[in-house]
Amino acid sequence: MPGKRHDIRLTNLAVGYGGTPVVSDVNVTLPGGKITVILGGSGCGKSTLIKHILRLHDPLSGAIHIGPHNIMELTRRQWACLKLRLGLLFQDGALLGSLTLGDNVALPLREHTRLKPREAYELAVSKLALVGLEKFAHLYPNQLSGGMRKRAGLARAMVMDPAVLFCDEPTSGLDPINSAELDQLLLELKERFDITVVVVSHDLASMRTIADHVVVLGEGRVLFDGSRDELEATRDDYLRRFLDRLAQERTAPRLSTSRLDPSLLKMDCSELWEQVQE
Amino acid sequence: MNQHTDAAESANALTPLTLLGSKSLRLFSEMGAMFLFCLHAMRLIFSSWGQFPKIIRQIYFIGVKSVTVIALIGLFTGMVMGMQLYFALSLFGADGFLGTGVALSMVRELAPVLTAIMVTGRAGSAMTAEIGVMRISEQIDALEIMGINPMSYLVSPKMAASIISFPILTSLFNLIALFGGWLTGVLLLGANEGVYFYRVQQSLEWDDISGGFLKALVFGVVVCTVSCYQGYFTHLRRDAVGPEGVSQATTHAVVMSCVLILMSDYVLTSLLW
Protein backbone atom coordinates (compact mmCIF):
# COMPACT_ATOMS: atom_id res chain seq x y z
CA MET A 1 0.00 0.00 0.00
CA PRO A 2 1.29 3.47 -0.76
CA GLY A 3 2.51 5.60 2.07
CA LYS A 4 2.23 9.34 2.01
CA ARG A 5 3.98 11.57 -0.56
CA HIS A 6 3.42 9.22 -3.49
CA ASP A 7 3.04 10.65 -6.96
CA ILE A 8 -0.02 9.94 -9.11
CA ARG A 9 1.09 9.11 -12.63
CA LEU A 10 -1.35 9.16 -15.55
CA THR A 11 0.01 7.54 -18.69
CA ASN A 12 -1.66 7.76 -22.12
CA LEU A 13 -4.94 8.05 -20.26
CA ALA A 14 -8.21 8.53 -22.12
CA VAL A 15 -11.39 9.00 -20.13
CA GLY A 16 -14.99 9.34 -21.21
CA TYR A 17 -18.41 7.76 -21.21
CA GLY A 18 -19.91 5.11 -23.47
CA GLY A 19 -16.76 4.83 -25.57
CA THR A 20 -16.71 8.58 -26.34
CA PRO A 21 -13.54 10.23 -25.02
CA VAL A 22 -13.93 13.42 -22.98
CA VAL A 23 -10.21 13.88 -22.30
CA SER A 24 -7.48 11.87 -24.02
CA ASP A 25 -3.69 11.66 -24.28
CA VAL A 26 -3.25 12.52 -20.62
CA ASN A 27 0.40 12.08 -19.64
CA VAL A 28 0.95 13.93 -16.38
CA THR A 29 2.39 13.32 -12.93
CA LEU A 30 0.63 14.84 -9.95
CA PRO A 31 3.45 15.29 -7.43
CA GLY A 32 3.15 13.69 -3.99
CA GLY A 33 2.94 15.90 -0.89
CA LYS A 34 1.86 18.91 -2.96
CA ILE A 35 -1.39 20.55 -4.01
CA THR A 36 -2.15 20.06 -7.69
CA VAL A 37 -4.96 22.11 -9.17
CA ILE A 38 -6.62 20.71 -12.29
CA LEU A 39 -7.90 23.81 -14.02
CA GLY A 40 -10.16 24.23 -17.00
CA GLY A 41 -13.42 25.65 -18.29
CA SER A 42 -16.82 24.21 -17.47
CA GLY A 43 -17.44 20.85 -19.12
CA CYS A 44 -13.80 20.26 -20.09
CA GLY A 45 -13.66 16.94 -18.21
CA LYS A 46 -11.99 17.88 -14.90
CA SER A 47 -14.46 16.02 -12.67
CA THR A 48 -14.60 13.17 -15.19
CA LEU A 49 -10.84 12.80 -14.89
CA ILE A 50 -10.77 12.47 -11.11
CA LYS A 51 -13.76 10.13 -11.08
CA HIS A 52 -11.80 7.88 -13.44
CA ILE A 53 -8.67 8.17 -11.31
CA LEU A 54 -10.81 6.92 -8.42
CA ARG A 55 -12.25 4.16 -10.61
CA LEU A 56 -15.84 5.26 -10.28
CA HIS A 57 -15.71 4.67 -14.04
CA ASP A 58 -13.22 2.66 -16.04
CA PRO A 59 -10.85 4.63 -18.32
CA LEU A 60 -11.09 4.02 -22.05
CA SER A 61 -7.34 3.37 -22.21
CA GLY A 62 -4.07 4.10 -20.44
CA ALA A 63 -2.69 3.54 -16.97
CA ILE A 64 -3.11 5.19 -13.57
CA HIS A 65 -0.32 4.72 -11.03
CA ILE A 66 -0.79 5.74 -7.41
CA GLY A 67 2.68 5.37 -5.94
CA PRO A 68 4.10 2.16 -7.38
CA HIS A 69 0.70 0.60 -8.07
CA ASN A 70 -1.08 0.53 -11.40
CA ILE A 71 -4.59 0.67 -10.01
CA MET A 72 -6.06 -0.96 -13.11
CA GLU A 73 -4.10 -4.11 -12.32
CA LEU A 74 -4.94 -4.36 -8.62
CA THR A 75 -7.19 -7.16 -7.41
CA ARG A 76 -10.56 -6.16 -5.98
CA ARG A 77 -9.26 -6.68 -2.45
CA GLN A 78 -6.10 -4.67 -3.05
CA TRP A 79 -8.11 -1.84 -4.55
CA ALA A 80 -10.50 -1.95 -1.58
CA CYS A 81 -7.51 -1.55 0.77
CA LEU A 82 -5.93 1.21 -1.29
CA LYS A 83 -9.23 3.06 -1.59
CA LEU A 84 -9.30 3.53 2.17
CA ARG A 85 -6.25 5.78 1.78
CA LEU A 86 -8.00 8.01 -0.76
CA GLY A 87 -10.54 10.68 0.14
CA LEU A 88 -12.87 12.59 -2.15
CA LEU A 89 -14.74 15.79 -1.42
CA PHE A 90 -17.70 15.86 -3.83
CA GLN A 91 -18.89 19.06 -5.45
CA ASP A 92 -21.91 19.40 -3.14
CA GLY A 93 -20.57 17.25 -0.30
CA ALA A 94 -22.68 14.18 -1.24
CA LEU A 95 -23.50 13.61 2.43
CA LEU A 96 -26.04 10.89 3.14
CA GLY A 97 -29.29 12.74 3.71
CA SER A 98 -30.65 10.27 6.23
CA LEU A 99 -27.68 10.57 8.61
CA THR A 100 -26.57 13.43 10.87
CA LEU A 101 -23.23 15.10 10.20
CA GLY A 102 -21.63 13.10 13.01
CA ASP A 103 -22.95 9.82 11.65
CA ASN A 104 -21.95 10.76 8.10
CA VAL A 105 -18.37 11.35 9.16
CA ALA A 106 -18.36 8.30 11.46
CA LEU A 107 -19.70 6.00 8.74
CA PRO A 108 -16.34 4.93 7.21
CA LEU A 109 -14.96 4.31 10.72
CA ARG A 110 -17.95 2.16 11.65
CA GLU A 111 -17.67 0.16 8.44
CA HIS A 112 -13.90 -0.31 8.31
CA THR A 113 -12.53 -0.22 11.85
CA ARG A 114 -13.01 -2.15 15.09
CA LEU A 115 -13.84 1.05 16.96
CA LYS A 116 -16.95 0.92 19.10
CA PRO A 117 -19.80 3.08 17.73
CA ARG A 118 -19.30 5.64 20.51
CA GLU A 119 -15.56 5.88 19.87
CA ALA A 120 -16.14 6.21 16.12
CA TYR A 121 -18.59 9.04 16.75
CA GLU A 122 -16.16 10.85 19.06
CA LEU A 123 -13.41 10.57 16.46
CA ALA A 124 -15.83 11.84 13.82
CA VAL A 125 -16.65 14.87 15.98
CA SER A 126 -12.94 15.56 16.37
CA LYS A 127 -12.62 15.51 12.55
CA LEU A 128 -15.58 17.87 12.33
CA ALA A 129 -13.66 20.14 14.71
CA LEU A 130 -10.92 20.33 12.05
CA VAL A 131 -13.38 22.10 9.79
CA GLY A 132 -15.11 24.03 12.60
CA LEU A 133 -18.35 22.05 12.58
CA GLU A 134 -18.14 20.11 15.85
CA LYS A 135 -21.15 21.97 17.28
CA PHE A 136 -23.29 20.88 14.34
CA ALA A 137 -22.64 17.12 14.55
CA HIS A 138 -26.27 16.45 15.48
CA LEU A 139 -27.74 18.27 12.46
CA TYR A 140 -28.80 16.73 9.16
CA PRO A 141 -27.26 17.87 5.85
CA ASN A 142 -30.44 19.66 4.74
CA GLN A 143 -30.21 21.88 7.85
CA LEU A 144 -26.85 23.30 6.74
CA SER A 145 -25.63 25.89 4.24
CA GLY A 146 -23.76 24.86 1.09
CA GLY A 147 -20.41 25.91 2.58
CA MET A 148 -21.03 23.92 5.76
CA ARG A 149 -21.98 20.85 3.71
CA LYS A 150 -18.71 21.14 1.80
CA ARG A 151 -16.71 21.43 4.99
CA ALA A 152 -18.54 18.42 6.43
CA GLY A 153 -17.78 16.53 3.21
CA LEU A 154 -14.13 17.47 3.71
CA ALA A 155 -14.21 16.13 7.28
CA ARG A 156 -15.67 12.86 5.97
CA ALA A 157 -13.03 12.66 3.24
CA MET A 158 -10.33 13.13 5.92
CA VAL A 159 -11.72 10.72 8.50
CA MET A 160 -9.65 7.70 7.42
CA ASP A 161 -6.46 9.81 7.31
CA PRO A 162 -6.07 9.57 3.53
CA ALA A 163 -2.72 9.74 1.76
CA VAL A 164 -4.36 11.48 -1.19
CA LEU A 165 -7.25 13.90 -0.94
CA PHE A 166 -9.26 14.74 -4.07
CA CYS A 167 -11.52 17.80 -4.04
CA ASP A 168 -14.08 18.35 -6.79
CA GLU A 169 -14.67 22.12 -7.12
CA PRO A 170 -14.41 22.85 -3.38
CA THR A 171 -15.04 26.58 -3.74
CA SER A 172 -17.77 26.60 -6.37
CA GLY A 173 -20.94 28.30 -5.19
CA LEU A 174 -19.26 29.79 -2.12
CA ASP A 175 -18.88 33.46 -1.30
CA PRO A 176 -15.31 34.90 -1.36
CA ILE A 177 -14.87 34.68 2.42
CA ASN A 178 -15.98 31.05 2.60
CA SER A 179 -13.84 30.23 -0.47
CA ALA A 180 -10.78 31.77 1.16
CA GLU A 181 -11.47 29.87 4.38
CA LEU A 182 -11.73 26.59 2.50
CA ASP A 183 -8.47 27.34 0.67
CA GLN A 184 -6.76 28.00 4.00
CA LEU A 185 -8.22 24.79 5.35
CA LEU A 186 -6.78 22.78 2.45
CA LEU A 187 -3.35 24.38 2.96
CA GLU A 188 -3.48 23.61 6.69
CA LEU A 189 -4.57 20.01 6.07
CA LYS A 190 -1.76 19.50 3.60
CA GLU A 191 0.84 20.87 6.03
CA ARG A 192 -0.54 19.15 9.11
CA PHE A 193 -1.12 15.70 7.64
CA ASP A 194 1.54 15.81 4.90
CA ILE A 195 -0.85 14.57 2.24
CA THR A 196 -1.14 14.85 -1.53
CA VAL A 197 -4.05 17.05 -2.57
CA VAL A 198 -5.65 17.14 -6.01
CA VAL A 199 -8.14 19.96 -6.50
CA VAL A 200 -10.41 20.30 -9.51
CA SER A 201 -11.40 23.92 -9.97
CA HIS A 202 -12.02 26.79 -12.30
CA ASP A 203 -11.50 29.31 -9.54
CA LEU A 204 -8.39 31.30 -10.45
CA ALA A 205 -8.14 33.06 -7.08
CA SER A 206 -8.19 29.69 -5.36
CA MET A 207 -5.59 28.29 -7.74
CA ARG A 208 -3.28 31.25 -7.05
CA THR A 209 -3.62 30.68 -3.29
CA ILE A 210 -3.16 26.95 -2.99
CA ALA A 211 -1.54 25.45 -6.11
CA ASP A 212 1.99 24.08 -6.13
CA HIS A 213 1.39 22.38 -9.44
CA VAL A 214 -1.20 23.09 -12.13
CA VAL A 215 -2.68 20.99 -14.92
CA VAL A 216 -4.93 22.80 -17.39
CA LEU A 217 -7.45 20.87 -19.45
CA GLY A 218 -9.23 22.08 -22.56
CA GLU A 219 -10.21 20.97 -26.03
CA GLY A 220 -10.23 17.35 -24.82
CA ARG A 221 -6.54 17.26 -23.85
CA VAL A 222 -3.95 18.57 -21.41
CA LEU A 223 -3.05 22.13 -22.38
CA PHE A 224 -0.59 22.80 -19.60
CA ASP A 225 1.31 20.81 -16.98
CA GLY A 226 3.72 22.65 -14.72
CA SER A 227 4.19 24.89 -11.72
CA ARG A 228 1.97 27.84 -10.87
CA ASP A 229 4.73 30.33 -11.73
CA GLU A 230 5.25 28.69 -15.11
CA LEU A 231 1.54 28.98 -15.79
CA GLU A 232 1.48 32.66 -14.81
CA ALA A 233 4.36 33.31 -17.21
CA THR A 234 2.79 31.46 -20.15
CA ARG A 235 2.36 33.19 -23.51
CA ASP A 236 -0.11 30.63 -24.86
CA ASP A 237 -3.09 32.52 -26.25
CA TYR A 238 -5.85 30.34 -24.74
CA LEU A 239 -4.14 30.09 -21.36
CA ARG A 240 -3.57 33.84 -21.22
CA ARG A 241 -7.24 34.48 -22.00
CA PHE A 242 -8.20 32.00 -19.30
CA LEU A 243 -5.84 33.53 -16.71
CA ASP A 244 -6.74 37.11 -17.61
CA ARG A 245 -10.46 36.23 -17.69
CA LEU A 246 -10.88 37.56 -21.22
CA ALA A 247 -14.01 36.58 -23.08
CA GLN A 248 -13.78 34.57 -26.28
CA GLU A 249 -13.93 36.77 -29.35
CA ARG A 250 -17.16 36.23 -31.23
CA THR A 251 -17.79 36.57 -34.92
CA ALA A 252 -21.54 37.13 -34.46
CA PRO A 253 -22.94 39.77 -32.07
CA ARG A 254 -24.13 38.17 -28.80
CA LEU A 255 -27.06 40.53 -28.16
CA SER A 256 -28.80 40.09 -31.46
CA THR A 257 -32.06 38.63 -30.17
CA SER A 258 -35.10 40.86 -30.01
CA ARG A 259 -36.73 41.87 -26.70
CA LEU A 260 -39.78 40.04 -25.44
CA ASP A 261 -42.97 41.79 -26.56
CA PRO A 262 -45.24 42.30 -23.47
CA SER A 263 -48.30 41.72 -25.65
CA LEU A 264 -47.18 38.07 -25.97
CA LEU A 265 -47.75 37.44 -22.24
CA LYS A 266 -50.79 35.35 -21.34
CA MET A 267 -51.53 37.71 -18.45
CA ASP A 268 -52.11 41.39 -19.17
CA CYS A 269 -49.09 42.92 -17.45
CA SER A 270 -48.37 45.76 -19.87
CA GLU A 271 -49.54 48.54 -17.53
CA LEU A 272 -47.53 47.26 -14.56
CA TRP A 273 -44.48 46.62 -16.71
CA GLU A 274 -44.58 50.16 -18.05
CA GLN A 275 -44.81 51.58 -14.50
CA VAL A 276 -41.80 49.50 -13.43
CA GLN A 277 -39.89 50.65 -16.52
CA GLU A 278 -40.54 54.28 -15.67
CA MET B 1 -29.26 4.26 -55.81
CA ASN B 2 -31.82 1.53 -56.30
CA GLN B 3 -30.00 -0.67 -53.85
CA HIS B 4 -30.16 2.09 -51.22
CA THR B 5 -33.89 2.56 -51.80
CA ASP B 6 -34.52 -1.17 -51.52
CA ALA B 7 -32.54 -1.37 -48.29
CA ALA B 8 -34.44 1.59 -46.83
CA GLU B 9 -37.77 0.05 -47.84
CA SER B 10 -36.94 -3.33 -46.33
CA ALA B 11 -35.75 -1.57 -43.14
CA ASN B 12 -39.08 0.27 -42.99
CA ALA B 13 -40.98 -2.99 -43.51
CA LEU B 14 -39.02 -4.58 -40.69
CA THR B 15 -39.51 -1.69 -38.28
CA PRO B 16 -42.41 -3.12 -36.21
CA LEU B 17 -40.69 -6.50 -36.10
CA THR B 18 -37.34 -4.95 -35.22
CA LEU B 19 -39.01 -2.86 -32.57
CA LEU B 20 -40.68 -5.93 -31.06
CA GLY B 21 -37.42 -7.83 -31.18
CA SER B 22 -35.37 -5.09 -29.59
CA LYS B 23 -38.00 -4.53 -26.89
CA SER B 24 -38.09 -8.26 -26.12
CA LEU B 25 -34.31 -8.43 -25.98
CA ARG B 26 -34.22 -5.46 -23.64
CA LEU B 27 -36.91 -7.02 -21.43
CA PHE B 28 -35.10 -10.35 -21.15
CA SER B 29 -31.79 -8.62 -20.61
CA GLU B 30 -33.34 -6.53 -17.81
CA MET B 31 -34.89 -9.64 -16.23
CA GLY B 32 -31.51 -11.38 -16.30
CA ALA B 33 -29.80 -8.34 -14.79
CA MET B 34 -32.45 -8.20 -12.07
CA PHE B 35 -31.96 -11.87 -11.26
CA LEU B 36 -28.20 -11.36 -10.87
CA PHE B 37 -28.85 -8.22 -8.83
CA CYS B 38 -31.10 -10.27 -6.54
CA LEU B 39 -28.51 -13.04 -6.09
CA HIS B 40 -25.80 -10.48 -5.34
CA ALA B 41 -27.98 -8.73 -2.75
CA MET B 42 -28.85 -12.04 -1.07
CA ARG B 43 -25.22 -13.12 -0.92
CA LEU B 44 -24.29 -9.89 0.86
CA ILE B 45 -26.96 -10.29 3.56
CA PHE B 46 -24.50 -12.34 5.60
CA SER B 47 -21.42 -10.29 4.71
CA SER B 48 -20.89 -8.96 8.26
CA TRP B 49 -22.46 -8.66 11.71
CA GLY B 50 -22.85 -4.96 10.94
CA GLN B 51 -25.77 -5.86 8.70
CA PHE B 52 -27.90 -6.84 11.69
CA PRO B 53 -28.85 -3.33 12.93
CA LYS B 54 -29.52 -2.20 9.35
CA ILE B 55 -31.84 -5.18 8.84
CA ILE B 56 -33.70 -4.35 12.06
CA ARG B 57 -34.17 -0.75 10.89
CA GLN B 58 -35.52 -1.99 7.55
CA ILE B 59 -37.87 -4.48 9.26
CA TYR B 60 -39.24 -1.52 11.17
CA PHE B 61 -39.70 0.47 7.95
CA ILE B 62 -41.03 -2.30 5.69
CA GLY B 63 -42.79 -4.45 8.28
CA VAL B 64 -43.84 -2.53 11.38
CA LYS B 65 -44.87 0.64 9.55
CA SER B 66 -47.05 -1.43 7.18
CA VAL B 67 -49.05 -3.05 9.99
CA THR B 68 -51.84 -0.46 10.06
CA VAL B 69 -52.52 -0.52 6.32
CA ILE B 70 -52.33 -4.33 6.19
CA ALA B 71 -54.73 -4.60 9.15
CA LEU B 72 -57.22 -2.26 7.50
CA ILE B 73 -57.04 -3.96 4.10
CA GLY B 74 -57.27 -7.40 5.76
CA LEU B 75 -60.29 -6.43 7.82
CA PHE B 76 -62.28 -5.03 4.91
CA THR B 77 -61.28 -7.79 2.51
CA GLY B 78 -62.42 -10.38 5.06
CA MET B 79 -65.67 -8.48 5.65
CA VAL B 80 -66.43 -8.31 1.92
CA MET B 81 -65.58 -11.99 1.44
CA GLY B 82 -67.74 -12.94 4.41
CA MET B 83 -70.67 -11.00 3.03
CA GLN B 84 -70.41 -12.15 -0.60
CA LEU B 85 -69.79 -15.78 0.24
CA TYR B 86 -72.64 -15.82 2.77
CA PHE B 87 -75.09 -14.53 0.13
CA ALA B 88 -73.81 -16.96 -2.52
CA LEU B 89 -73.70 -20.01 -0.24
CA SER B 90 -77.12 -19.25 1.30
CA LEU B 91 -78.68 -19.72 -2.14
CA PHE B 92 -77.74 -23.38 -1.91
CA GLY B 93 -78.26 -23.70 1.84
CA ALA B 94 -74.53 -24.12 2.23
CA ASP B 95 -73.79 -21.15 4.49
CA GLY B 96 -72.11 -23.56 6.88
CA PHE B 97 -69.16 -23.57 4.49
CA LEU B 98 -68.59 -19.85 4.92
CA GLY B 99 -65.50 -20.48 7.08
CA THR B 100 -64.05 -22.81 4.44
CA GLY B 101 -64.50 -20.24 1.67
CA VAL B 102 -63.07 -17.34 3.62
CA ALA B 103 -60.13 -19.33 5.02
CA LEU B 104 -59.03 -20.98 1.76
CA SER B 105 -59.37 -17.88 -0.41
CA MET B 106 -57.51 -15.77 2.11
CA VAL B 107 -54.69 -18.14 3.06
CA ARG B 108 -54.00 -19.45 -0.42
CA GLU B 109 -54.49 -16.36 -2.57
CA LEU B 110 -55.75 -13.04 -1.31
CA ALA B 111 -53.58 -12.54 1.75
CA PRO B 112 -50.18 -13.04 0.05
CA VAL B 113 -51.18 -11.14 -3.10
CA LEU B 114 -52.91 -8.18 -1.46
CA THR B 115 -50.21 -7.88 1.21
CA ALA B 116 -47.51 -7.82 -1.46
CA ILE B 117 -49.35 -5.22 -3.53
CA MET B 118 -50.00 -3.00 -0.51
CA VAL B 119 -46.38 -3.21 0.65
CA THR B 120 -45.26 -2.45 -2.91
CA GLY B 121 -47.28 0.76 -2.81
CA ARG B 122 -46.10 1.73 0.67
CA ALA B 123 -42.51 0.50 0.99
CA GLY B 124 -41.46 -0.60 -2.51
CA SER B 125 -41.99 2.84 -4.01
CA ALA B 126 -40.13 4.40 -1.07
CA MET B 127 -37.18 2.03 -1.62
CA THR B 128 -36.94 3.05 -5.29
CA ALA B 129 -37.23 6.75 -4.53
CA GLU B 130 -34.68 6.61 -1.70
CA ILE B 131 -32.06 4.73 -3.70
CA GLY B 132 -32.82 6.74 -6.85
CA VAL B 133 -32.31 10.07 -5.07
CA MET B 134 -29.09 8.75 -3.56
CA ARG B 135 -27.94 7.77 -7.04
CA ILE B 136 -28.60 11.13 -8.69
CA SER B 137 -27.12 13.12 -5.80
CA GLU B 138 -23.84 11.12 -5.92
CA GLN B 139 -24.45 9.58 -2.48
CA ILE B 140 -23.95 6.09 -3.93
CA ASP B 141 -20.69 7.23 -5.53
CA ALA B 142 -19.68 8.60 -2.13
CA LEU B 143 -20.33 5.20 -0.54
CA GLU B 144 -18.14 3.53 -3.18
CA ILE B 145 -15.34 6.02 -2.60
CA MET B 146 -15.54 5.36 1.15
CA GLY B 147 -15.01 1.68 0.37
CA ILE B 148 -18.57 0.81 1.40
CA ASN B 149 -20.32 -1.59 -0.95
CA PRO B 150 -23.61 0.19 -1.83
CA MET B 151 -25.31 -3.14 -2.50
CA SER B 152 -24.38 -4.38 0.94
CA TYR B 153 -25.22 -1.08 2.64
CA LEU B 154 -28.45 -0.23 0.84
CA VAL B 155 -29.97 -3.26 -0.86
CA SER B 156 -29.13 -6.36 1.20
CA PRO B 157 -30.72 -5.13 4.46
CA LYS B 158 -33.90 -4.34 2.52
CA MET B 159 -33.83 -7.79 0.94
CA ALA B 160 -33.44 -9.52 4.32
CA ALA B 161 -36.14 -7.34 5.87
CA SER B 162 -38.54 -8.12 2.98
CA ILE B 163 -37.94 -11.86 3.32
CA ILE B 164 -38.74 -11.62 7.04
CA SER B 165 -41.55 -9.07 6.91
CA PHE B 166 -43.70 -10.28 4.01
CA PRO B 167 -44.66 -13.68 5.56
CA ILE B 168 -45.34 -12.05 8.94
CA LEU B 169 -47.52 -9.36 7.38
CA THR B 170 -49.33 -12.05 5.38
CA SER B 171 -50.07 -13.97 8.61
CA LEU B 172 -51.43 -10.80 10.14
CA PHE B 173 -53.58 -10.23 7.06
CA ASN B 174 -54.92 -13.82 7.36
CA LEU B 175 -55.85 -13.44 11.01
CA ILE B 176 -57.57 -10.11 10.59
CA ALA B 177 -59.36 -11.22 7.39
CA LEU B 178 -60.75 -14.31 9.18
CA PHE B 179 -61.94 -11.96 11.91
CA GLY B 180 -63.51 -9.71 9.24
CA GLY B 181 -65.31 -12.72 7.72
CA TRP B 182 -66.63 -13.62 11.17
CA LEU B 183 -67.72 -10.01 11.74
CA THR B 184 -70.02 -9.87 8.70
CA GLY B 185 -70.87 -13.56 8.25
CA VAL B 186 -71.58 -14.41 11.88
CA LEU B 187 -72.19 -11.18 13.73
CA LEU B 188 -74.11 -9.21 11.11
CA LEU B 189 -75.69 -11.87 8.89
CA GLY B 190 -76.28 -14.59 11.48
CA ALA B 191 -74.19 -17.57 10.33
CA ASN B 192 -73.38 -20.07 13.06
CA GLU B 193 -70.25 -19.08 14.97
CA GLY B 194 -69.20 -22.59 15.97
CA VAL B 195 -69.61 -23.91 12.43
CA TYR B 196 -67.65 -20.94 11.02
CA PHE B 197 -64.58 -21.59 13.18
CA TYR B 198 -64.91 -25.37 12.85
CA ARG B 199 -64.84 -25.05 9.05
CA VAL B 200 -61.87 -22.66 9.18
CA GLN B 201 -59.93 -25.13 11.31
CA GLN B 202 -61.02 -28.22 9.41
CA SER B 203 -60.49 -26.92 5.87
CA LEU B 204 -57.01 -25.48 6.35
CA GLU B 205 -54.18 -27.93 5.93
CA TRP B 206 -50.50 -27.40 6.48
CA ASP B 207 -49.90 -27.26 2.70
CA ASP B 208 -52.26 -24.30 2.41
CA ILE B 209 -50.47 -22.39 5.13
CA SER B 210 -46.93 -23.22 3.97
CA GLY B 211 -47.94 -22.46 0.36
CA GLY B 212 -49.22 -19.04 1.42
CA PHE B 213 -45.97 -18.38 3.28
CA LEU B 214 -43.91 -19.48 0.28
CA LYS B 215 -45.84 -17.10 -1.93
CA ALA B 216 -45.29 -14.25 0.53
CA LEU B 217 -41.59 -14.99 0.60
CA VAL B 218 -41.29 -15.04 -3.20
CA PHE B 219 -43.32 -11.82 -3.46
CA GLY B 220 -41.03 -10.20 -0.89
CA VAL B 221 -37.97 -11.04 -2.98
CA VAL B 222 -39.69 -9.88 -6.19
CA VAL B 223 -40.84 -6.55 -4.76
CA CYS B 224 -37.51 -5.77 -3.13
CA THR B 225 -35.49 -6.76 -6.20
CA VAL B 226 -37.59 -4.74 -8.64
CA SER B 227 -37.82 -1.68 -6.38
CA CYS B 228 -34.13 -1.56 -5.47
CA TYR B 229 -32.99 -2.35 -9.02
CA GLN B 230 -35.06 0.45 -10.51
CA GLY B 231 -33.67 2.93 -7.96
CA TYR B 232 -30.10 1.70 -8.21
CA PHE B 233 -29.96 2.13 -11.98
CA THR B 234 -32.04 5.32 -12.20
CA HIS B 235 -29.11 7.11 -13.85
CA LEU B 236 -29.13 4.66 -16.78
CA ARG B 237 -32.76 5.31 -17.72
CA ARG B 238 -33.30 6.40 -21.30
CA ASP B 239 -36.74 7.97 -20.87
CA ALA B 240 -35.91 10.58 -18.23
CA VAL B 241 -33.06 11.97 -16.14
CA GLY B 242 -32.65 13.61 -12.74
CA PRO B 243 -35.71 13.95 -10.49
CA GLU B 244 -38.00 12.98 -13.38
CA GLY B 245 -35.92 9.82 -13.78
CA VAL B 246 -36.53 8.97 -10.11
CA SER B 247 -40.27 9.51 -10.52
CA GLN B 248 -40.32 7.33 -13.68
CA ALA B 249 -38.28 4.66 -11.91
CA THR B 250 -40.71 4.68 -8.97
CA THR B 251 -43.75 4.34 -11.22
CA HIS B 252 -42.03 1.61 -13.22
CA ALA B 253 -41.05 -0.26 -10.05
CA VAL B 254 -44.63 -0.27 -8.70
CA VAL B 255 -46.20 -1.36 -12.00
CA MET B 256 -43.56 -4.00 -12.69
CA SER B 257 -43.78 -5.36 -9.12
CA CYS B 258 -47.57 -5.70 -9.33
CA VAL B 259 -47.39 -7.47 -12.70
CA LEU B 260 -44.66 -9.82 -11.50
CA ILE B 261 -46.57 -10.54 -8.28
CA LEU B 262 -49.63 -11.67 -10.25
CA MET B 263 -47.57 -13.61 -12.79
CA SER B 264 -45.57 -15.45 -10.13
CA ASP B 265 -48.79 -16.02 -8.17
CA TYR B 266 -50.23 -17.92 -11.13
CA VAL B 267 -47.05 -19.97 -11.55
CA LEU B 268 -46.84 -20.78 -7.83
CA THR B 269 -50.53 -21.68 -7.60
CA SER B 270 -50.14 -24.05 -10.56
CA LEU B 271 -47.14 -25.70 -8.94
CA LEU B 272 -48.40 -25.85 -5.37
CA TRP B 273 -51.98 -27.01 -5.66
HEC assignment per residue over chain B: CHHHHHHHHHHHHHHHHHHHHHHHHHHHHHHHHHHHHHHHHHHHHHCCCCHHHHHHHHHHHHHHHHHHHHHHHHHHHHHHHHHHHHHHHHHCCCHHHHHHHHHHHHHHHHHHHHHHHHHHHHHHHHHHHHHHHHHHCCHHHHHHHCCCCHHHHHHHHHHHHHHHHHHHHHHHHHHHHHHHHHHHHHHHCCCCHHHHHHHHHHHCCHHHHHHHHHHHHHHHHHHHHHHHHHHHCHHHCCCCCHHHHHHHHHHHHHHHHHHHHHHHHHHHHHHHC
Chain A residues with CB-CB distance to B147 below 8 A: 80, 83-84, 108, 111-112
Chains A–B, number of C-beta pairs less than 8 Å apart: 50
A121-174 residue pLDDT tens: 999 999 999 888 999 999 999 999 888 899 999 999 999 989 999 999 888 878
In this prediction, the answer to ipTM > 0.95 reads no
Q: Is B214 within the bounds of a domain?
A: yes
pLDDT score for A1: 42
Sign of CA dihedral A46, A49, A55, A57: positive
Looking at the structure, tell me whether residues A198 and A271 fall in a common domain.
yes
Looking at the structure, tell me whether residues A135 and A225 fall in a common domain.
no
Distance from CA of A92 to the nearest CA of B (A): 9
* Mean pLDDT value of segment B23-49: 92
Interface of B with A (CB under 8 A): 50, 130, 133-134, 137-139, 141-148, 153
Name the residue facing A96 among B139, B145, B147 (closest C-beta).
Answer: B139
Distance from CA of B149 to the nearest CA of A (A): 10
Nearest-10 Cα torsion for B90, B92, B94, B98: -50
pLDDT score for A3: 44
Put simply, the answer to whether A56 touches B50 (Cβ < 8 Å) is: no
Looking at the structure, tell me whether residues A156 and A43 fall in a common domain.
no
* Mean pLDDT value of segment B198-213: 93
A72-109 residue pLDDT tens: 899 989 999 999 989 999 988 899 999 999 999 999 99
Domain boundary among A124, A139, A161: A161
Put simply, the answer to whether A108 touches B147 (Cβ < 8 Å) is: yes
pLDDT score for A65: 93
Chain B residues with CB-CB distance to A94 below 8 A: 137-139, 141-142
Looking at the structure, tell me whether residues A54 and A104 fall in a common domain.
no
Q: Is A1 within the bounds of a domain?
A: no
Distance set, CA B130 to CA B134, B194, B249 (Å): 6, 49, 11
Interface of A with B (CB under 8 A): 51, 54, 56, 80, 83-84, 86-88, 90-92, 94-98, 107-108, 110-112, 156, 160
Range of the domain at A104: 97-161
- Residue A30 belongs to a domain with what CATH number? 3.40.50.300
Domain boundary among A110, A133, A161: A161
* Mean pLDDT value of segment B196-218: 94
Pairing of the two strands A20-30 and A221-227: unpaired
Range of the domain at B209: 58-89+109-272
Looking at the structure, tell me whether residues A200 and A78 fall in a common domain.
yes
Q: What's A225's DSSP letter?
A: E
Domain boundary among A108, A130, A161: A161
A29-50 residue pLDDT tens: 999 989 999 998 888 889 899 9
- Three-state DSSP at A141 gives helix
pLDDT score for A261: 78
How many independent structural domains does chain A possess?
A: 2
